[in-house]
A and B are shown apart, each in its own frame.
Chain A
């Protein structure tokens, strides 16, 4: 009885989690233009349409450029913040952590309105740098958290050992602490990149037609008309996400001590 409850609920929930994407994404290869099964035949023509349409390729390059910029800026902001916060006292640490992490809690629509208004007045809205900075603010908390986690996990004896061997504070920071915290920086960088690459709401408020990102173009396409090209874009976005997830996994396995 209890086993039946367990398996019944787990399998139903698992199906709900997995089936939508497994069912929909293959439709990108459908020959016909109807998004349903049975498929009319295997075809790559919708992929060809995406890659020859300037609108989608431009949005893709915009997304990539913005995500790279946001990743670098996010790692800089979040990484500096985490290493700095680690050196402060306990009370200040709580306050600063609350502030630095808060963009994760504030609804993105609220951040979007605030950015759209303030960046508009600074002359940043619609520009590449406006989007990079806005996405950097959204990515920095994730870098901050992941660097904090890896700094907290460091063995303080390593720093003491380096100090006892005569290493100066800055030498220890650059040659002991930072290399040991590298996995945290890398994971944070990946988080920041994905956050920017998948972000819709803030980009919707800030992007101009020329700086439109891939998710914004997909969002507009979904509101406009359902075409197989939309599934192709969704498939490509998922493949990029899975590649990043795999990269994260690989980096983590590098960080772990090797088994012999």
Chain B
């Protein structure tokens, strides 16, 4: 007798065998890197591991704290001293030199508070001790604090007293993503409509144009815009030739250039989902509406458009998510004041080697994307339920 093709036990074994390799690779090369990035965003680095005696010293006894600090300094090797100093400096500018100078002479300084202050009067300032007190744990929220502008006050409560530069950047990222999404939807809708409703030859032509654009790499399309929009570029040359302008316009390295190029690059991602929804709408509906006396514009607004909202929503979500984390195009066509979170993440990794800040901003960006995906998932689930709108 042959096994039935629907035998569940065999299927489960086969599934297990087939899934072992992909899931192992995903766990090891995808989930683990993301997990270690999340851990990195709260990791205190060497700083959290090097002030051991200081952590255990009686906080009320200033001399004991000074002695413990000097003992810790003597126990560290030069690399650990440097890494700890870097971590302290991220908390309080100027701490690096104080820490390293003290470390160099740690064997000679008298192990009391007075001895430290005699070596460098800055040790009398409370702020240096506070920073060290906050950083004896292996975990820190300082990267998130710096990213969100929230700081821990002396009572350990969160207050919005910090530098809000990254809050401004995140707000800017959000605004650019919203603007790009709106412009993209506006331009995509007629094209998707044409693919679904125009005469077959023209619809086919538009579809080919969309697919070719979709397959052309994002970088190539961005290159085209850089060349078109530069000061001596084609757009300026054309406008000068027509006499519409007397001086070349600044079209690139500003918000205009960033939004135009991002819109162009993201168009296919909006057209394709809209097109797929529009293709399912029967053409006979429009005829029915017209035969009942509605004009073409009323038919579009009251019969056609409401049915395409699902496609528009999917298009908007896709474009918004892609725009939010976009790096290549805005970094090449935006100016210094139009750079999005992604640009600063890349700069932290490539230039300042501040992995903690790069990870914290990445975690915030990832969180924003996951929230949007979750909202879409919930909306889809609610609509798919019996009783919900199909």
Task: Please list the residues of chain A having a beta carbon within 8 angstroms of any beta carbon in chain B.
Answer: 1-2, 5-6, 9-10, 12-14, 16-18, 20-21, 23-25, 27, 34-37, 76-78, 80-81, 83-85, 87-88, 96, 99-100, 103, 105-119, 121, 133-134, 136-137, 140, 159-160, 163, 166, 168-169, 172-173, 194, 197-198, 200-201, 204-205, 215, 218-219, 222-223, 226, 230-231, 234, 237-238, 241-242, 244-245
Contact = CB atoms under 8 A, between A and B. Distances in A.
Contact of A117 (B40, B216, B267, B326): B40
Contact of B215 (A110, A231, A245): A245
B211 interface: yes
Interface in B1-44: 2-5, 10-12, 14-19, 21-23, 25-26, 29-30, 32-34, 36-37, 40
Contacts of B222: 222
A241 B216 contact: yes
Contact of B223 (A10, A16, A24, A99): A24
Interface of B: 2-5, 10-12, 14-19, 21-23, 25-26, 29-30, 32-34, 36-37, 40, 187-188, 190-191, 193-194, 198, 206, 209-213, 215-228, 230, 232-234, 237, 264, 267, 295-297, 300, 321, 324-328, 332, 342, 345-346, 349-350, 355, 358-359, 362, 365-366, 369-370, 373
B329 to A, nearest CB: 10
B320 to A, nearest CB: 12
A12 to B, nearest CB: 8
Given A85-B15, A114-B36, A194 B215 contact: yes
10 contacts: A14-B191, A20-B228, A23-B228, A77-B25, A84-B15, A88-B12, A107-B324, A117-B36, A140-B22, A205-B349
A37 B223 contact: no
A2 B296 contact: yes
A245 B18 contact: no
A256 B16 CA distance: 32
A114 B362 contact: yes
Given A80-B19, A163-B5, A238 B220 contact: yes
A218 B72 CA distance: 49
Contacts of B220: 21, 218, 234, 237-238, 241
Nearest to A138: B30
B219 A198 contact: yes
Given A24-B227, A77-B21, A237 B217 contact: yes
A163 B219 contact: no
A200 B232 CA distance: 27
Given A16-B267, A84-B19, A105-B373, 9 more contacts: A2-B295, A10-B191, A35-B230, A84-B15, A106-B34, A113-B345, A140-B22, A226-B227, A238-B220
A166 B373 CA distance: 46
Given A83-B18, A108-B325, A17 B191 contact: yes
A133 B349 CA distance: 20
B234 A109 contact: no
A160 B346 CA distance: 53
Contacts of A218: 219-220, 223
A1 B346 contact: no
Given A17-B264, A137-B30, A234 B327 contact: no
Nearest to A194: B215
A13 B234 contact: no
A70 to B, nearest CB: 12
Residue among A23, A78, A107 with max Cβ neighbours from chain B (10 Å): A107
B158 to A, nearest CB: 25
A119 B33 contact: yes
Contacts of B210: 17
A201 B331 CA distance: 11
A146 B228 CA distance: 36
A200 B359 contact: no
A234 B4 CA distance: 55
Contacts of A103: 30
Nearest to A197: B217
Residue among B23, B33, B210, B228 with max Cβ neighbours from chain A (10 Å): B33
Contacts of B267: 16-17
A194 B214 CA distance: 11
A236 to B, nearest CB: 9
